[in-house]
Amino acid sequence: MSLDVYLRNDMCSHCGRGEEVYEANITYNLAGMAEEAGIYGIVWAPEENGITHAGQLVAPLRKAIADMIANPERYKKHDAPNGWGTYEHFVPWLQRYLAACEKHPNAGVKASR
């Protein structure tokens, strides 16, 4: 199982389609780490947590990434034993997602899990 996130400009309110400006995939094995960082809901289920635009993700992602970098052992305990989903994969993935949200703050957010 995995998570796909999308940022789209000019999203249609009916069908959710629009110009895709960012897309990324990550393993669901990182859900526990995301929960520890306090971002599971907004990353895995943005629509259920009031997140409609990328700009809404900027502050919480910045905070989570900063804490993850400052306290790596707190998060590494959630590394998947099989190696499919580790701190070393997740932090850079979050940093890229944050950069896309900063670049396209008005883009609509969609997640598929």
pLDDT tens digits for range 42-54: 999 999 999 999 9
Instruction: List pLDDT tens digits, range 3-51.
Output: 999 999 976 666 666 789 999 999 999 999 999 999 999 999 999 999 9
Average pLDDT over every residue of 81-92: 96
* Both structure tokens of 98: 């944050």
| Cα pseudo-dihedral 53, 103, 32, 77, rounded to 10 | -160
Q: Using a CB cutoff of 8 Å and minimum separation of 24, what contacts does 36-41 make? A: 36/74, 36/75, 36/78, 37/64, 37/67, 37/68, 37/75, 38/63, 38/64, 39/64, 39/94
Residue 31 to residue 45: CA distance in whole angstroms: 11
